Structure 1
């Protein structure tokens, strides 16, 4: 368990989409013009369209994009995108664009009622993760990834897209059933962020129509709208001239194009087609201010948004301007990252960027999360950095690093172009259709970026501040906990802060870069002393001269990706409760401090332009290393591994900074109902065991810097029992020198130790626990079973089947039949060590007054499986999904890395993956019934329920 984590904040803004931003006039230097002229490239040249996709438009206006892509093999991804969303609703239709999206899963011409989901699940398509859709202001998108190696399924998948386009049945009975589902979706979304959003949306969206067309709609209309309204919206806007079909996958594009032409050519336009207006958020040419509070907001957030018009990205010059802004944003992130590593950072989090906003606007957004009670000083500190940039600009070395990072990313994307997943392409064509964004081929994107990056000049990047950091069309938004409501600043006060910063003396930024090597001394090289093949997984196990074991599995799944994982038994279990907080956070603190002769700031700069990421970890039972690199970065990756063993550091500045920010983020944690709920659940399950409690300010205060460093050094002092697993695009001869130099030289003590079984287990008898916390009239329910487990391949696969079939039944009953929930599911987990244990849970949100009835329904479905076994059809769905998912897993580096490493950790047979398909096929209604009866026992049931505050 790691307590300390980077402060994660959601920017409290409306959902946005990537749209090209405003073009900046550019005057190129002679050097830049020379670079561009090498390929006859000019700034006013139109951007080319992707020549790797087959595209066309039918006579009825329907558009299609079809691309062949072999990864993953035997799969195809289909998207139906339409330029129709909630912005097109009239006052009687609020929420119906989204409601209609739901209805397209509840009855189509060729798939009445719920037959669509039922049919696709039998084909191995997962509802919610594979089969899905979304509705936003300006678009609605349906997505269907399916196997392409089954002709019937491929044909029916295309028919689904055709039915989605215009053939929803919109049956009245089905509409009424879905009302409850969507009302629960709306209820589940209520909370502190939604309450705040209701207040600031009118300001941020300048009172435009967008502020009155949130896709979820209003409760009154969702409950009472007549069927005619949703049918009218469907007739008006689900039409071919607003729709595009995107198909990317392992298919024949020409053959697919012919099918599309035949299937979609008969789609009809309405007799009186309404104009599809393009809506705007008009600039008001004035500044706005809003200060608001909420009792459940855990910390203060202040944000400045400076809005401006944006242009389309249509030319090479436009594309170049986008690169300028990306470089600018990277350098801002670097500046603020350094600030937050000061011993007493001026805020918990801060930053800024130029980005797209909504419709026709983009924003220069500045944000600060001040330390508790220090809004003014935090706000001024954030503004001071932007003032520093405005007065002095960035440095050439900062620009060089940002360009190096982008160059590396560009190269890696191009290297992996034939290994890209089909899903990575669909948004390229969707955004082109919806918003007219550029759709470049892999080659064109690589070539343009490669040529344009060297032409970016420091003066141009610095000029972006003057263009976007203006004092007009500026919104200031301050949000604070309710307890600080009385001290919220006025607009005049905030403007006085701004003026004070503008008039202050600001020094230029000093870009400190280390000229020292990462390691203080070179390792004393060891050797490989033995080698054996592991035929079960087409890998090889090497033993090094210091006892370190290395499992090598070369693959061709990626062209240049190498993943690394290492472990050793021990972890925090070997330390007392008094040392636990220091032990649990030791690796996070070390990781944040840099390593070897470099601080974290210096290390970040050193690694610019490299695709390398290595980090240490200490968990309850293990310590180790995890990370990834490409072939070019192998030396740096192994240097980092060696340094984390031999030259760790825990800088006082980093320790103090981390403690300060962590405490600040936790000070008001109990204002969040979910934290109060979680605390109670853990108290019931684990008493006051410090190893299972959520972090608090008091716990963080118990972390001792010297003890944390000492514990870390102890855990990594002996490499003799470490096992490294390396999977990816390498060969043994290529990687062997790094193993000998950096792993075989790691220090050893030949300790004979393992982790300790702390015997932290849940009570054997369940109970009902109700927690009252929160303003919203909604409930959150977790039903959970815990106990000893008979770990084994057969038992495990039957437990997975139980999770799957029960989830299907819960969705059918609690969502589709009773309309009482938006989402519901079962989840099973089990482990072999330190002793075989399992946990099985059912979770859902609902209305307060429906909680007990829904619990009864859920437990009734459990009882049915225990008494009658699951439906055979539901087991067929589970089997189909698992067979398809297994095919994908076996082509992923991450799968093999975790599979091999966990097999060694848990002493599991490496051949078990080859038996998985046979074990899956042996699952029967009776075998699942048995595990349900064995583990979902009534007396083990815990009912954890979060209710709103008592009235």
Structure 2
């Protein structure tokens, strides 16, 4: 889909309280660069390029990367990269790099008008999720994953790449239609964050060109540029010396290379090419401060960025340095994680990262989400931890855990190398072309990392932090709601805070590690009492002596991945409204605490270096376990499962910390137009039902620690009605000892339970709800229909077809024909329990003056599909997409886990998926038309509309 992906500006945007604080330092390993020579590492040696990739450069300068990879089978991923983004634009071209990206979908030499999307959809390629592109500051990238088992489609896919490279038609009529679409994309991004970014961005990029070259451009240029300008931009920059194709997948590299030479060798070469200037951000060798507030901001963010010249990773020494940065990031964020889980955390969330910035710079970035009215404490606590490391360093035990974790990541990546997806290779070669990034082979990466990790020393890692944590080229950025404005510090105050913390009598970090085993006692071994094969899906069902049921599906989709899930009927539905909050928080509180003899911090340290993740949950109609492990971690995984049944705990510090954060996150949420809109929607549908509306302070105060633990223990007291599912690289013989030693030992009371029908359903008659909230002149619309449903396999696949064909028509009508939206579509949902119900939703954003006409257009499409059914072409697109996606899904552990879990929860045949294509083939224009008439009921239509603040009277 012609979507402007998020800019490479994560460091410029506040981290929300919903964003995970942990940084994935393991990715630095895959990006690091080293070389192995005769079993010894030469630290000044250049890094080797992946020897399994066929590369070359045509005479015109066009480059290519080709690699055969069979994961997924019968698929190939193609990228076209252009070293041109918004940074090269002149004042009269602002936004045209991005606009040109859009135009490459609106008429090519071999695919006029919208024929490109139409053709690829007929081949099962999804517009938006498969077919896509993005524009950044320095590059534009087009992506096309397609089936490779159809030679004509493969050839045409390469032809698409060739047309993208230089043969956009750029017709006036198509350009003028696209202006409105891009304006809606621009309009959709407007809000508190965009308004604040406009104020702080220039500071962060040191007043450089980047501040005035956001890829989306400006309204003035987008709506008024002469088409001749974009044609000249295309001629200047879409040229072979700035382009590369990357092809990875189940293909013959020799054939692909021959086709690339045939298609791309005749590309136009400019006799006097325009110079491609490399723009950078200069260090200014001084500190900066910026404070921005907005009435719609919902939380207060503090961020400290310390900029440094970029250090490329191109030698063994560089790679070793990047490993040390990864170790530093992991250790300091572990400390912050402990701090945030304390009974009275100093901030809602915080994190620190040494990594890439932009414009030729690296940086140390530290951020925190402040508790309302407590910015100083949050700021000082973050700085205090940086100072603590600076003064005392890390402990040896912290260091060894970090090394262990990185080593585990390296081993896991190597184990799964034969199952590595093509997309991951494509991204590596894309970085190599665009940024001269590393492209190591799997073998080199593994062997070199394995040799380098033991060579790292604690003193060197501490020196990395001391190098980055300095008091020059430091920016302090504060983003906050208007209501916090008077409580925020000025620059001098912040400077004083740095000095105050520096003078504090800090103490060294105490790394508390327990030597106790997780469980206080070993389970009493049970037995398997019966077995039943489910041959159609190569699965087996076991019943244990305590009544626990286990469904096993061994697979070879991954070399060492085992997914585990379990459920039992019941959930929060069995508890009265007065206890709902305690019941709904119980699973999270247990999951955030320790198990057995280990508290939460001891458990986290115990799990270091183990690829194990097991979590309990309680939802409305069931409770259970979900997670994953590898074979090495199986024992730990089953110990955790047994512990969550028999030795759960809610630690007081964890309880107080979670409740504190939850309360703090409520403080300014009514500033957010989207929250107010969502709340009004839920109120219209469910009144003030505590189980559906967003909870507030009054509801949070009803969460009781003791009662939450009691409810949890009650839900997990009887394992006899639990069904476990195990999917992945495990055999029957390998899993049986764990079933007997742990699952068969789980406690039982042999009670029979069924979830309660709470009677919470949407009103039978629709209505219109208008919410006025927000400064921006834009409208958001959601059209929703709810009602009773005929739940069966045939009805379900026809409802899926209705969703797809309606989405196609809405996109064509509202976006392509009327240029009124950036994105839209239909979403259909259906459920069997507690009684069969369905919902159909259509959502879009647009301008205030267009929303009513677009609602009318959407409803007109409802009428057309009810009167005529879908076109056969649109129906065929749905069918081929379903078939192509099923080919991929059938080779994913997660898909099978979802299928099995759903079938057993709903009491359905787990082998249905083997018959799905038969039902799919029976879907017709008439059957979809019938479903449309049955469920697109006008009297059940809800119109939820968000408009800007009403004018003051």
Q: TM-score range by the shorter chain?
A: over 0.9
**SS of equivalent residue, structure 1 residue 665:** helix
Residue 470 of structure 1 is matched in structure 2 by 470
Residue 895 of structure 1 is matched in structure 2 by 895
Cα distance in 2, alignment partners of residues 10 and 704 from structure 1: 26
Residue 876 of structure 1 is matched in structure 2 by 876
Residue 436 of structure 1 is matched in structure 2 by 436
Cα distance in 2, alignment partners of residues 331 and 838 from structure 1: 48
Shift in alpha-carbon separation, 1:751–1:628, aligned structure 2, 3 A? same
Report runs of 4+ in structure 1 exceeding 3 Å deviation: 17-23, 35-38
After TM superposition, the structure 1 stretch with the greater mean CA deviation from structure 2, 180-189 or 461-470, is: 461-470
Aligned runs of 1:341-380 on 2, under 5 Å?
Answer: 341-380=341-380
Residue 618 of structure 1 is matched in structure 2 by 618
Residue 75 of structure 1 is matched in structure 2 by 75
**SS of equivalent residue, structure 2 residue 78:** strand
Cα distance in 2, alignment partners of residues 351 and 716 from structure 1: 35
CA shift at 1:486, angstroms? 2.2
Cα distance in 2, alignment partners of residues 162 and 19 from structure 1: 34
Cα distance in 1, alignment partners of residues 398 and 695 from structure 2: 36
Matched, 1:7 2:17: yes
Cα distance in 1, alignment partners of residues 630 and 211 from structure 2: 46
Matched, 1:770 2:770: yes
**SS of equivalent residue, structure 1 residue 348:** strand
Residue 839 of structure 1 is matched in structure 2 by 839
The one-character-per-residue Cα deviations of 1:786-834 (angstroms, maximum 9, x if unpaired) are 0000011111111000000011101111000100000001000101111
Residue 515 of structure 1 is matched in structure 2 by 515
Cα distance in 1, alignment partners of residues 685 and 32 from structure 2: 55
**SS of equivalent residue, structure 2 residue 691:** helix
Residue 791 of structure 2 is matched in structure 1 by 791
On the 8 A contact 1:330/1:402 being kept in 2, the answer is: yes
**SS of equivalent residue, structure 2 residue 77:** strand
Matched, 1:725 2:735: no
Cα distance in 2, alignment partners of residues 71 and 37 from structure 1: 30
Cα distance in 2, alignment partners of residues 94 and 813 from structure 1: 28
On the 8 A contact 2:132/2:144 being kept in 1, the answer is: yes
Cα distance in 1, alignment partners of residues 729 and 399 from structure 2: 31
Residue 11 of structure 2 is matched in structure 1 by none
Matched, 1:557 2:557: yes
Cα distance in 2, alignment partners of residues 560 and 528 from structure 1: 25
On the 8 A contact 1:22/1:312 being kept in 2, the answer is: no
On the 8 A contact 2:101/2:134 being kept in 1, the answer is: yes
Cα distance in 2, alignment partners of residues 736 and 756 from structure 1: 34
Shift in alpha-carbon separation, 1:535–1:36, aligned structure 2, 3 A? closer
Cα distance in 1, alignment partners of residues 90 and 316 from structure 2: 40
The one-character-per-residue Cα deviations of 1:93-122 (angstroms, maximum 9, x if unpaired) are 000000000000000000000000000000
Aligned runs of 1:521-670 on 2, under 5 Å?
Answer: 521-670=521-670
Residue 64 of structure 1 is matched in structure 2 by 64
Cα distance in 2, alignment partners of residues 480 and 245 from structure 1: 44
Matched, 1:138 2:138: yes
Aligned runs of 1:70-109 on 2, under 5 Å?
Answer: 70-109=70-109
Residue 399 of structure 1 is matched in structure 2 by 399
Cα distance in 2, alignment partners of residues 381 and 416 from structure 1: 40
On the 8 A contact 1:667/1:697 being kept in 2, the answer is: no
On the 8 A contact 1:797/1:920 being kept in 2, the answer is: yes
Cα distance in 2, alignment partners of residues 638 and 7 from structure 1: 32
CA RMSD, aligned part only? 1.6
Residue 271 of structure 2 is matched in structure 1 by 271
Cα distance in 1, alignment partners of residues 695 and 86 from structure 2: 41
On the 8 A contact 2:79/2:142 being kept in 1, the answer is: yes
Residue 449 of structure 2 is matched in structure 1 by 449
CA shift at 1:314, angstroms? 1.0
CA shift at 1:40, angstroms? 2.3
CA shift at 1:7, angstroms? 2.8
CA shift at 1:912, angstroms? 1.5
On the 8 A contact 1:134/1:141 being kept in 2, the answer is: yes
On the 8 A contact 1:18/1:356 being kept in 2, the answer is: no
Aligned runs of 1:221-300 on 2, under 5 Å?
Answer: 221-300=221-300
Residue 333 of structure 2 is matched in structure 1 by 333
CA shift at 1:19, angstroms? 13
Cα distance in 2, alignment partners of residues 565 and 21 from structure 1: 33
CA shift at 1:508, angstroms? 0.2
Cα distance in 2, alignment partners of residues 513 and 19 from structure 1: 27
On the 8 A contact 2:36/2:447 being kept in 1, the answer is: no
Normalised by the size of structure 1, how large is the TM-score? 0.97
Residue 307 of structure 1 is matched in structure 2 by 307
Aligned runs of 1:715-864 on 2, under 5 Å?
Answer: 715-864=715-864
Shift in alpha-carbon separation, 1:897–1:864, aligned structure 2, 3 A? same
On the 8 A contact 1:21/1:311 being kept in 2, the answer is: no
Shift in alpha-carbon separation, 1:213–1:20, aligned structure 2, 3 A? farther
Give unpaired runs (5+ residues) of structure 1: 12-16, 27-34
Residue 184 of structure 1 is matched in structure 2 by 184
On the 8 A contact 1:21/1:310 being kept in 2, the answer is: no
After TM superposition, the structure 1 stretch with the greater mean CA deviation from structure 2, 814-823 or 339-348, is: 339-348
CA shift at 1:18, angstroms? 8.8
Aligned runs of 1:37-56 on 2, under 5 Å?
Answer: 39-56=39-56
**SS of equivalent residue, structure 1 residue 877:** helix
Give unpaired runs (5+ residues) of structure 2: 1-14, 22-26
Cα distance in 1, alignment partners of residues 879 and 369 from structure 2: 48
Shift in alpha-carbon separation, 1:716–1:19, aligned structure 2, 3 A? closer
**SS of equivalent residue, structure 1 residue 92:** helix
Cα distance in 1, alignment partners of residues 36 and 113 from structure 2: 58
On the 8 A contact 1:773/1:947 being kept in 2, the answer is: yes
The one-character-per-residue Cα deviations of 1:835-865 (angstroms, maximum 9, x if unpaired) are 1100110000000110100000000011100
Normalised by the size of structure 2, how large is the TM-score? 0.96
**SS of equivalent residue, structure 1 residue 61:** coil
On the 8 A contact 1:21/1:362 being kept in 2, the answer is: no
Residue 29 of structure 1 is matched in structure 2 by none
On the 8 A contact 1:20/1:312 being kept in 2, the answer is: no
Cα distance in 2, alignment partners of residues 459 and 158 from structure 1: 52
Shift in alpha-carbon separation, 1:624–1:20, aligned structure 2, 3 A? closer
After TM superposition, the structure 1 stretch with the greater mean CA deviation from structure 2, 728-737 or 914-923, is: 914-923
Shift in alpha-carbon separation, 1:37–1:93, aligned structure 2, 3 A? closer
After TM superposition, the structure 1 stretch with the greater mean CA deviation from structure 2, 921-930 or 136-145, is: 921-930
Residue 31 of structure 1 is matched in structure 2 by none
The one-character-per-residue Cα deviations of 1:368-403 (angstroms, maximum 9, x if unpaired) are 222110111111111111110000011111111111
On the 8 A contact 1:572/1:620 being kept in 2, the answer is: yes
Cα distance in 1, alignment partners of residues 152 and 30 from structure 2: 40
The one-character-per-residue Cα deviations of 1:448-496 (angstroms, maximum 9, x if unpaired) are 1111111110000000121001111010111111012123211001111
Shift in alpha-carbon separation, 1:18–1:551, aligned structure 2, 3 A? closer
The one-character-per-residue Cα deviations of 1:883-919 (angstroms, maximum 9, x if unpaired) are 1001111101011111011101101122321221111
The one-character-per-residue Cα deviations of 1:194-244 (angstroms, maximum 9, x if unpaired) are 111100000000110111100000001000000011111100110001001
Cα distance in 2, alignment partners of residues 564 and 640 from structure 1: 12
Cα distance in 2, alignment partners of residues 638 and 747 from structure 1: 15
Aligned runs of 1:489-508 on 2, under 5 Å?
Answer: 489-508=489-508
Cα distance in 2, alignment partners of residues 595 and 765 from structure 1: 49
Shift in alpha-carbon separation, 1:349–1:515, aligned structure 2, 3 A? same
CA shift at 1:678, angstroms? 0.8
| Count of residue pairs brought into register by the alignment | 932
Residue 119 of structure 1 is matched in structure 2 by 119
**SS of equivalent residue, structure 1 residue 720:** helix
The one-character-per-residue Cα deviations of 1:528-557 (angstroms, maximum 9, x if unpaired) are 011010123210000001000000100000
The one-character-per-residue Cα deviations of 1:119-175 (angstroms, maximum 9, x if unpaired) are 000000000000000000000000000000001100100000000000000000000
**SS of equivalent residue, structure 2 residue 755:** coil
